[in-house]
């Protein structure tokens, strides 16, 4: 049984194209990154922390003339402190991630979580989605959140940032 386990482990490492030394540079636990980023975002919204929320955005979005007003508008739109929410990442919570490797190096990694049933002590329920580059070797000024949308149970929506400004190659 032990030999079978070792054989499977060696085969798995070979398929991934990494050796026992250096794997840590090749591998990112995408679910953990998305969960940690989402928890920060929810904490900043719940605590009404404008500076914390602002720190999540990429330099392109931070250069917008009205970014502070957008952030304050979102904090005003999001009523109360969070008391519960559904699972925060992956297929259970919704969203996706994309990892691009070139020559065994991770050159681009983006996440787009979708968080549902966020309940606050003000009796409100929200959904939140956002887009963020965690790694972008070609365009370092895109690293960070490009857009956050917050939707309440009445269907009203508030958006901070602009996904298409950061990703001009995408179509609206």
**Greatest CA separation for the chain:** 63
Confidence of residue 1 (pLDDT cuts 50, 70, 90): low
CB neighbourhood size of 62 (10 A): 15
Mean pLDDT of 50-57: 98
pLDDT band of residue 71 (cuts 50, 70, 90) is: very high
Number of H helices, E strands in the chain: 8, 6
End-to-end CA distance of the chain: 54
Residue 21: the pLDDT is 41
Q: How many CB atoms lie within 10 A of CB 42?
A: 18
Q: How far apart are CA 78 and CA 41, in angstroms?
A: 12
User: What average pLDDT does this structure show over 89-93?
Assistant: 43
Q: 29: pLDDT confidence band, cut at 50, 70 and 90?
A: low
75 or 16, which is more confident = 75
In this prediction, residue 100 carries a pLDDT of: 73
Mean pLDDT, the chain, whole residue set: 83
Give residue 65's pLDDT band: very low, low, confident or very high (50, 70, 90).
very high
Which domains, ranges and CATH numbers included, belong to the chain? 30-166 (3.10.450.50)
| Per-residue confidence band for 133, with pLDDT thresholds at 50, 70 and 90 | very high
Question: In whole angstroms, what is the distance from residue 156 CA to residue 8 CA?
Answer: 51
């Amino acid at each position: 049984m032990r030999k079978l386990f070792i054989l499977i482990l060696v085969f798995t490492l070979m398929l991934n194209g990494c050796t026992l030394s250096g794997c840590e540079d090749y591998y990112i636990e995408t679910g953990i990154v998305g969960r940690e980023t989402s928890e920060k975002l929810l904490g900043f919204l719940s605590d009404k922390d404008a500076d914390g929320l602002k720190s999540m955005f990429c330099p392109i979005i931070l250069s917008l003339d009205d970014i502070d007003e957008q952030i304050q508008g979102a904090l005003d739109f999001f009523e109360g402190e969070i008391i519960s929410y559904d699972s925060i990442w992956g297929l259970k919570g919704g969203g996706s991630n994309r990892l691009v490797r070139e020559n065994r190096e991770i050159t681009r990694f983006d996440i787009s979580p979708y968080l549902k049933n966020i309940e606050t002590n003000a009796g409100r329920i929200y959904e939140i989605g956002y887009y963020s580059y965690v790694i972008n070797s070609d365009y370092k000024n895109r690293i960070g959140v490009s857009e956050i949308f917050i939707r309440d149970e009445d269907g009203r929506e508030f958006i901070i940032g602009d996904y298409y400004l950061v990703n001009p190659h995408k179509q609206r």
